[in-house]
Structure 1
């Protein structure tokens, strides 16, 4: 007997305000689903102040739009606090489909609106009229969105604005947008595309500004600015920042040179972070940083010490200084970069002595003489220095302790990461270095390769350990393909593992030459890599052509290709060791390329094919692989290819997505263990006949269901999952009751699961009634509705109708609606 205390509904007793706050954290479709729990929950979802909707792919944008509109129009919350839409669209009409729910949201005065658009075929132009919403407080636009503001906007309540990778129609659109944000306090901009050569940020009320990789000239006029962050691929020669007397913190991390005029823009900052991949121009003696109390400087630059002293000389209130050295191990040729020697200033800066209390030096190696001299200079002249911390120290602690110090109370601390090396005793013993090398390599294989290489500074033992790592992964997140290729090649050519087990390359937003990728692939295959994974996204050309010569690697065991990659195989290949092949959203030159590729994989066991758009150049996708055991095909939009499968050793088969049954031809599969077939249309008779040896079978429902279970006398579990017939444009055949009751219903069927949509309810209901009337051993029948609009009244009516069916197994059969 159930304990009523244990089964008590505790969550429904929570205050409504708390319940609404909890529901605001969920996807809206899940929130709406709570309406069937009880009467108390039936309308609660309509009061949720924050909504989030996600459209997974472009094929359902219209239905997605209808659902969002219906939900928004049902809202009863006093204020719609937040609305987030994530949409994948591609066809012409999709812009209108998105525009309708956006218009409704602004019409009910949404306070925060977030829109992310992913599109392969064009841009969604954000409606011009919505730039005049006087109640909107937060606007976040991301992705393939066109910002076109031909006249000054009026967003007088807007305080937060995010523009991430959007496209601007012209310079005027940027000016007009910011001009209408009279109360804007927080601005985030990442990327800048379109007809914009100068990105002007002229917002008197702005307090926080974050800019990343805008790629154009940046002009900032924000006298109330308190926080500034600029990072990415931009040269400070193109940065102009006006007077910022209230600046609290400035963070500059850019790929180009940081010039003197940019440094002078930060003289009022209290906290300053400077990092550049090139160089930093020395400030003049007239640059006074009168409010600076914390300064962090990246010293991975030639002659960085020439910047240090002028800055210290002009920073009378500086209390904390942090120097960050390179995390990698320097080679001998890198030392050539230090052409000029350290020259100690003749006059000790008076302002250095009274305030400096803390020095932190990350990745202090103590190998360059200039580093040692700078440390000695600071120690000798900082009279009130209380603590000096050195992390990832390569040199000896004793050498630093022997340096004469002006401050007798200065504490010297040496750390690896965040752990102190001083006075540690047995508790601070380096235990990880005592692990077996095989275990260490396994642990390091789980860490990004860039971080693994950084472990080379820990000790002599770790110095070369990363070079024996069996698995490597590199990510090129931006357009620096040439630098990325250079760095990865350098690491690969230093590799010393007996076998390179796995190499994973992720390359995004490529604006370089395909030869840069070719070189990496060539080096990897030259090292006889066993598993190679290549993911290329947004290549500047139509696709990156995978090198033909690499199709003849006789040691490769796993190959996974994803994204903008072209498979062009004009002749038979030889991949005799390949056992696993994944082709994810790649293109093919022609039918022959597919045949030639697969025919050369004589030991292939696992094949995965995924397409999210029509396959270029392919009419018939032939999979003729006698050794194949597992095959998975997923197509996410309607395409015209025919898939021909000839795999007599196949044990697992999965075919899903937007292809029609008549586009699938399956040969004999006598060893098939499991099949999962879910596609469009009415299933022809030859499909089930191709699967007669299967033990576990998953099929989408069709008008000729009797063909499946009439030929399955040992069937024990039957699950029917429906597809909306109107959505696929297929005429639903009227079901005809078989003359003879199938043997499986009379002797074996125990479980029935029916997932249905309202569009096919009438026909499928007759099938379900037939099963209930004739299944002698049926113990459990579960019904689940998929979609919207099937309220509790319809649910109870359906259950009552099915309960009234005379059951062959009346004593034990249980009907459940979920």
Structure 2
């Protein structure tokens, strides 16, 4: 996004928010160099304001004032909602940007659509700016705010002013980072009747406050919790949420780990996606989520996954009702015994993504008679498999061959090949070792592509994009890796 305050400081003097009028046309109105009348300016002010409201930033709306004297004040009016974006800029000009933001808020009559404080490099809610932020949040120009992107600070979370909560009745989207909710009274009734998307990252918040916050989001559809501090557990009760992304640990602060995530009651939840290689809590319990269809990335650091009354980590081979169709997990070895137990726990699974962690002592000798003890997803549903870190060695081949010989409705199996030439001869050898001529599904296709070593399943860009049926399917989006 554009640096509104920074760009304004380059083009306008701090004591003025208006450029000079353009030349007048022959008929007394503004026009082009040939004297043609400005027909757009003859439109009603309400329509002109609607046009300006479609511009993504206040800078763009304000710059339209050079087009016509009739447009000079439109960007300030209620018909052109404020979209204020404060992006990155030199730290030496931070005070100037703060002054310009204050002038914009003083000049615009409101309402506001978007207030965006960008991440590191932008204006942060540091202690010396706390009073200024508080006054901004109380400005009438921000009445009706729909989107709030607030970045607290670069290091420890900064206090979130209670005045920020005055936007609760109108917010549709909120992203709050590096903030401490300590000033928010746990007993305060928090109501966000229009909020559909909520992202909290690097925040400190009590369990009671978080519970009240989520309870007040009566229309919430997507929830993103990343590196939340001070939690012993997080319990989710939401009648509307459809997607949850969560990350509770990073490489630099083990204290960010919390032991348990509990999906207590989420009747509309379709996606539960832990982010990052170390993203998940130690235990995930899904008590009631009857529509859950996408689950993962489940790393080896998630010690237990409980769905209903069945512990998947303990690999209890019991069939139970679950709607999960897309499963993404990490497997050390890869471990065929563990994966087969997982398959039995997810009878409706259609797509399986596996991030392998090769181990030389893994044998993966097939010991399963699927005729005597059938696995439902292999017989009826599993149609796509992606295996990353495939090296084509004995354990890899034995692991993959199980699916080749038993997945009866398989359509495609993709191998992200690592540490190999992956040339035509090598692929031909793999076809022979995997016994593709004896595959259980005659329509199955087997693709081998080079893998760069990155876990393409752990850094999710489409967690909350519900228009994509499978957020892990890289073929649906150009911004993702091909595997």
TM-score of the superposed pair, with normalisation by structure 1: 0.43
Aligned twin of 2:298: 678
Aligned twin of 1:632: 245
Tell me the CA shift for residue 579 of structure 1: 2.3
Aligned twin of 2:328: 699
Alpha-carbon spacing, 1:561–1:617, altered in 2? closer, same or farther (3 Å): same
Tell me the CA shift for residue 440 of structure 1: 5.0
Aligned twin of 2:453: none
Alpha-carbon spacing, 1:452–1:532, altered in 2? closer, same or farther (3 Å): same
Secondary structure of the equivalent of 2:198?
strand
Tell me the CA shift for residue 708 of structure 1: 3.7
Aligned twin of 1:39: none
Q: Deviations over 1:299-321 (max 9, x none)?
A: 959xxxxxxxxxxxxxxxxxxxx
Kept in 1, the 8 Å contact 2:401–2:434? The answer is yes
Secondary structure of the equivalent of 2:418?
coil
Aligned twin of 1:505: 117
Kept in 2, the 8 Å contact 1:745–1:775? The answer is yes
Kept in 1, the 8 Å contact 2:223–2:245? The answer is yes
d(CA) in 2 for partners of 1:676, 1:685: 11
Verify: 1:564 aligned to 2:196, yes or no. Answer: no
Aligned length: 406
Kept in 2, the 8 Å contact 1:561–1:582? The answer is yes
Candidates 49, 55, 62, aligned match of 1:453: 62
Q: Which has the higher contact order (CA 8 A, sep 6+)?
A: 2
d(CA) in 2 for partners of 1:656, 1:760: 28
Alpha-carbon spacing, 1:586–1:457, altered in 2? closer, same or farther (3 Å): same
Verify: 1:519 aligned to 2:135, yes or no. Answer: yes
Alpha-carbon spacing, 1:440–1:633, altered in 2? closer, same or farther (3 Å): same
Q: Which has the higher strand share?
A: 1
d(CA) in 2 for partners of 1:571, 1:397: 62
d(CA) in 2 for partners of 1:801, 1:788: 18
Tell me the CA shift for residue 518 of structure 1: 1.7
d(CA) in 2 for partners of 1:524, 1:647: 38
Q: Deviations over 1:745-767 (max 9, x none)?
A: 33454x34332314796445333
Candidates 350, 375, 390, aligned match of 1:742: 375
Q: Deviations over 1:21-54 (max 9, x none)?
A: xxxxxxxxxxxxxxxxxxxxxxxxxxxxxxxxxx
Q: Which runs of 5+ in 1 are unaligned?
A: 1-232, 234-252, 256-274, 276-297, 302-325, 330-362, 366-391, 399-414
Tell me the CA shift for residue 653 of structure 1: 2.4
TM-score of the superposed pair, with normalisation by structure 2: 0.69
Verify: 1:467 aligned to 2:94, yes or no. Answer: no
* Matching of residues 23-34 of structure 1 within 5 Å: none
Candidates 622, 646, 651, aligned match of 2:270: 651
* Matching of residues 177-196 of structure 1 within 5 Å: none
Alpha-carbon spacing, 1:712–1:534, altered in 2? closer, same or farther (3 Å): closer
Alpha-carbon spacing, 1:790–1:450, altered in 2? closer, same or farther (3 Å): same
Alpha-carbon spacing, 1:559–1:505, altered in 2? closer, same or farther (3 Å): same
Alpha-carbon spacing, 1:781–1:648, altered in 2? closer, same or farther (3 Å): closer
Kept in 1, the 8 Å contact 2:109–2:141? The answer is no
Aligned twin of 1:92: none
d(CA) in 2 for partners of 1:758, 1:741: 26
Aligned twin of 1:50: none
d(CA) in 2 for partners of 1:575, 1:745: 46
Aligned twin of 2:432: 800
Candidates 421, 430, 433, aligned match of 2:38: 430
Alpha-carbon spacing, 1:435–1:796, altered in 2? closer, same or farther (3 Å): farther
Kept in 2, the 8 Å contact 1:626–1:646? The answer is no
Verify: 1:587 aligned to 2:222, yes or no. Answer: no
Alpha-carbon spacing, 1:579–1:718, altered in 2? closer, same or farther (3 Å): same
Secondary structure of the equivalent of 1:587?
coil
d(CA) in 2 for partners of 1:760, 1:687: 34
| Structure label with greater radius of gyration | 1
Alpha-carbon spacing, 1:472–1:364, altered in 2? closer, same or farther (3 Å): closer
Alpha-carbon spacing, 1:456–1:653, altered in 2? closer, same or farther (3 Å): same
Secondary structure of the equivalent of 2:244?
strand
Verify: 1:617 aligned to 2:230, yes or no. Answer: yes
Q: Deviations over 1:617-644 (max 9, x none)?
A: 3332333334423222245735422333
Aligned twin of 2:447: 816
* Matching of residues 229-308 of structure 1 within 5 Å: none
Alpha-carbon spacing, 1:608–1:659, altered in 2? closer, same or farther (3 Å): closer
Aligned twin of 1:787: 418
Q: Which runs of 5+ in 2 are unaligned?
A: 1-5, 312-319, 450-483
Tell me the CA shift for residue 699 of structure 1: 1.9
d(CA) in 1 for partners of 2:167, 2:363: 51
Alpha-carbon spacing, 1:747–1:559, altered in 2? closer, same or farther (3 Å): closer
Kept in 1, the 8 Å contact 2:299–2:330? The answer is no
Secondary structure of the equivalent of 1:741?
coil
Verify: 1:709 aligned to 2:343, yes or no. Answer: yes
Secondary structure of the equivalent of 2:351?
strand
Aligned twin of 1:187: none
Alpha-carbon spacing, 1:549–1:464, altered in 2? closer, same or farther (3 Å): closer
Tell me the CA shift for residue 813 of structure 1: 4.1
Candidates 210, 221, 229, aligned match of 1:605: 221
d(CA) in 2 for partners of 1:645, 1:733: 36
Tell me the CA shift for residue 782 of structure 1: 2.8
Tell me the CA shift for residue 462 of structure 1: 0.9
d(CA) in 2 for partners of 1:605, 1:718: 24
Q: State the superposition RMSD in angstroms.
A: 4.1
Secondary structure of the equivalent of 2:356?
coil
